[in-house]
Amino acid sequence: MPSPGHETSVPLARTFLTGLILAFSATAARAASAAKDWPFYLGDQARTHYSPLKQIHRGNVARLQVAWTFDTGEKGEFQSNNLIVDGVLYTASPGRHVIALDASTGKARWRFDPRREHDEPLGRRLRGVMYWADGDDRRVFSAGATRLYALDARTGEPIRSFGRNGSIALGDGLRTAEPATAGLNTPGVIWHDLLILSANVAENVPGAIRAFDARTGALRWAFHTIPRPGEPGAETWPPDGWKHSGGASAWSGLSLDEDRGIVYAATETAGPDFWGGRRYGENLFANCLIALDARTGRRLWHHQLVHHDLWDMDLPAPPTLLTVTHRGLRIPAVAQGTKMGRLFVFHRVSGEPLWPIHELPAPASQLPGVATWPAQPHQDLPAPLMRQRYTRDDVSPISPAAHQLTTERLNRAGAFGSFPPPRWTETILFPGFDGGFEWGGSAADPDGILYANLNEIPWIYQLIPTQRDGAAIANAERQYLIHCGPCHRPDQSGDPAGGIPSLIGLPNRKTREEVARQIELGAGRMPPLGAVPAAQRSAILDFLFGGPGRVATAAPRKGPAAAKARDRAAEGETPPYTFAGFRRWFDAEGYPAIKPPWGTLNAVDLNTGEIKWKVPLGEYKELKARGIPPTGTENYGGPVVTAGGLLFIGATADETFRAFDKDTGRILWEASLPFGGNATPSTYEVAGRQFVVISAGGGKSGRPAGGSIVAFALAE
C-alpha cells in the first residue's frame, strides 16, 4: 500500500506537470504571436530587420498592391519604423505625436500629442516608439522634446505613476552638479523591466547609456561615455575632460542580446565635433562599439573605430546581432557599419574581431594647435563596401561641364579619404559625413548574410579661423572664407591664370544686385549658391561691398580685452577654428559630383567576409531618359529581409518602394510612394494576411515632404 506521502505526491506532480505544459503553451503562443508581429524597433532587439513571414515571396511579390494608407496630417522627415503588436500599429509622426492604428485597415484608434503635457517645441526625426507589457500592463514609450512619456497602449493616455505624472526628463543622470537637457530620436532596448536608452545631447553635455525602471521611471544605472575621474577610459582624456567636452552618446540606437543580457551601443563623436584642442587623446568611449551588462551597466568590452575624431565620423547605425559560421564554428557575432563604408565584425561575447584590425597611418593636421591621432583602424575583411577615396577615376561623367568642374576642384582641393588633414582650405571628404552606412541600419538573415544600403556622395571639409589678433573674425568675412575663399582666395586675388577672377575692386565693376544674382544662380564656372541661406549670402555681399556686417564687434584688436580674448582662446573657451559647414559636393545640375553609383544596396556573407552582390539603389528618371544607366541616389532608411527570400526597402530620393531578391539583388517589384520612404519598413501578419508598411514623409535630399503611411498586401 502506498505511503501517505506517495499518495499526496501524485496529484502534486500532475499539477506541476500541468503547470509546465500550460507555461510552455503560453510561451509558444507568445512566440507564435511575436513571429507575426513587429514588436520592436527594426523588428527585434538584435536589430536584424528580419521577419520569418513568407506569405509574400519571390513568386508572388509582383502582385503586391496598396492595402491602405493613412495621412498623419503633418509634414517633415517621417522616419518612424512602425511597431505592430496584436493587430495595432504604433507610429511616431513627423511632429512626434504617437498614433495607434488598426493594422489591418489603417483606421485611427488614438493619438497622443506631448504638448498636452508639456508645452515645448517637439522637434522632428523620431524614428519610432517602444512597447512593453507585463500581464495586463501594456505601455508605449515615446519621446517628446526633452521628456520620455509612458502611455497606456490601449488608450494613449499617460500612465501617471511613471516618473512625474507620466514622464521623465531625458537629461536625468547625464550630469552630477546641475540638470542637463537632452532629447531622443531613436528607441532604446528593453530588458525585463529596464528601459535602456541613450540620448541626443549638445556638444557640451557628456553622453551616457542609462537604464530606467519601466514601471516607475526611476534611474537604475548609468554608464558614462565620457568617463569621470577614476572610471575606465579617463586616462584617454585630458584632466577633467568630462567637464568641458560633451557628446559621445549613442544617438543611432542600441541592440540587445536578450538571452545573455548584453547591451551593445554604437557611439558618436565627442564634442565639439571638429575642434579637438581641449580633448586631445583617444577620447574613449566616443566612436566606440561598447558591450555592457544589461543588469548593471558594467562595461564588458569595447572597440574604438575612430580615434580622436575631428571629422564627425559617428558610428551611424545600431549594431546588428547575428550568428555566423566562422572557421567551422557557429559564432554569436555583432557587426558594426561605419560612415566610411567599413564593416567591423566581432565575437558577441568576447569582443574578439573575427578578422584582423590594423592601425594604419593617417594624414597629419596642417593647422597649428590642431593635432590628429597618428593612426586609424582598418580591417582585412569584409572589404570596404564603397570607394575609400576620390581619385581621378571618380571624376563625374554626367556632362562635359560636370567633368571639367570636378576635375578642377579635385586638382585644387585634393582628397585624402575620410580622415583628411584639418586645414583652412577646403578638401574633399569621401566617404562623407552621411556615409557610407547611415542610421537606417543593416538587415541580417539566419544564414549569416548582412544587407546594407550605403551612400557614395562626396562632401567638402574645411576649418576656418575664428580670430585675428585676439578678435573674432566678423561673420561677413567668415561667410566669404567658407563659400568664396577656396576659389577666390582669402585675399580676394583669385587665380586669373586658372580662370578664377580677382574680386579686388569688385564694387567698381558690378553692382551689389548683380553680384547677388550671380551668387544665387551661378555663372560660368561658379556654382549656384541659391541653396545657401539668404542671410549667409547677404553676409558675403556685406564683405565684398563693405556692408554693416563686415566689421568684427566681438572684441577689439588691441589692449587688455584683446589679450584676454587670446587667453580664452588658448584655454579652449573660444576655439581658434570653426567648421565651415556641412556641404555636399554637387555639380551645377544638382547631382553628386562623382562618378556613379551614388547609392547602393549590398549583400555581405559574414561567414566568409566576402561581398556577395552590389547593385545601384534608386535612379533619376531624367538621367535615364538621357541614356544614363541607373545611378543610385542618396538614401536614408534601412532594408527588411524576410523568409520569403525578399528585401524590402524605400530610402531613395525617387519616391519608390522596392522589393529585391535577397540572393541576387534583382529588382522584383516597385511601387510609387506619395513621398520618399526615408524610414525602415515593417512587415507583419493580421488575420492570416501579411502586410508590408512604410512611413513616407520625404523631406530628405531636397525632396517634397509629407506624412503618409502606406501598407501593401496581396489581394484578398
Q: What is the pLDDT of residues 644-686, one digit of tens each?
A: 999 999 999 999 999 999 999 999 999 999 999 999 999 999 9
The whole-number pLDDT of residue 70 equals 98
pLDDT of 553 over the 90 cut: no
Q: How far is residue 348's CA from residue 331's CA, in Å, rounded to a whole number?
A: 8
Q: List alpha helices for 265-422, DSSP H.
A: 400-413
pLDDT tens figures, 1-22 = 333 333 333 333 343 344 444 3
The whole-number pLDDT of residue 556 equals 35
**Geometric angle at alpha carbon 531, from 635 and 542, rounded to 5°:** 150
- Which of 23-37, 295-309, 428-442, 570-584 bottoms out in mean pLDDT, i.e. has the lowest? 23-37
Mean pLDDT of the 223-229 span: 95
Query: Which has the higher per-residue pLDDT, 27 or 704?
Result: 704
* 23-32 contact pairs (CB < 8 A, 24+): none
Q: Count CB neighbours of 109 within 10 A.
A: 15
pLDDT tens figures, 197-221 = 999 998 888 999 999 999 999 999 9
Please state the domain extents for the chain.
1-36
Query: Which has the higher per-residue pLDDT, 628 or 528?
Result: 628
Q: How high is the mean pLDDT of the chain?
A: 90
Residues 6+ apart with CB under 8 A from 580: 426, 460, 461, 462, 463, 464, 481, 482
pLDDT tens figures, 366-412 = 999 899 999 999 999 999 999 999 999 999 999 999 999 999 999 99
- Which of 341-355, 408-422, 439-453, 567-581 bottoms out in mean pLDDT, i.e. has the lowest? 567-581
Share of the chain above pLDDT 70, in %: 90
Q: How far is residue 184's CA from residue 250's CA, in Å, rounded to a whole number?
A: 10
Q: Determine whether 714 is exposed, middle or buried from the number of CB atoms within 10 Å of its CB (0-12, 13-18, 19+).
A: middle
pLDDT of 709 over the 70 cut: yes
pLDDT of 564 over the 70 cut: no
Q: How far is residue 541's CA from residue 550's CA, in Å, rounded to a whole number?
A: 9
CB of 139 closer than 8 Å to CB of 156: no
pLDDT of 35 over the 80 cut: yes
pLDDT of 566 over the 80 cut: no
**Geometric angle at alpha carbon 455, from 283 and 612, rounded to 5°:** 100
DSSP 486-506: HHH-TTS--BGGGTB---TTG
Residue 406 C-alpha from the chain's centroid: 28
pLDDT of 565 over the 70 cut: no
pLDDT tens figures, 336-348 = 999 999 999 999 9
Supply the DSSP symbol for 383.
Answer: P
Residues 6+ apart with CB under 8 A from 310: 273, 274, 275, 276, 365, 370, 372, 422
Confidence of residue 525 (pLDDT cuts 50, 70, 90): low
Share of the chain above pLDDT 90, in %: 76
The whole-number pLDDT of residue 38 equals 98
Q: How far is residue 485's CA from residue 73's CA, in Å, rounded to a whole number?
A: 44
Q: Determine whether 629 is exposed, middle or buried from the number of CB atoms within 10 Å of its CB (0-12, 13-18, 19+).
A: exposed
Confidence of residue 551 (pLDDT cuts 50, 70, 90): low
Residues 6+ apart with CB under 8 A from 433: 311, 312, 339, 459, 582
Are β-strands 137-143 and 147-152 bridged in parallel, bridged antiparallel, or unpaired?
Answer: antiparallel
Q: How far is residue 666's CA from residue 58's CA, in Å, rounded to a whole number?
A: 11
Joined together, the cell numbers standing for residue 468 give 585675428
Mean pLDDT of the 63-88 span: 97
Q: Nearest CA to 617 among 691, 682, 701, 713?
A: 701
Mean pLDDT of the 177-195 span: 91
Q: How far is residue 189's CA from residue 187's CA, in Å, rounded to a whole number?
A: 7
Mean pLDDT of the 561-565 span: 42
Query: Which has the higher per-residue pLDDT, 281 or 482?
Result: 281
The whole-number pLDDT of residue 180 equals 84
The whole-number pLDDT of residue 569 equals 42
Confidence of residue 33 (pLDDT cuts 50, 70, 90): low
Mean pLDDT of the 323-338 span: 98
The whole-number pLDDT of residue 12 equals 34
Q: What is the pTM of this model?
A: 0.88
Q: How far is residue 111's CA from residue 155's CA, in Å, rounded to a whole number?
A: 9
C-alpha distances out from residue 213 to 98, 189, 210, 249, 544, Å: 21, 12, 10, 20, 58
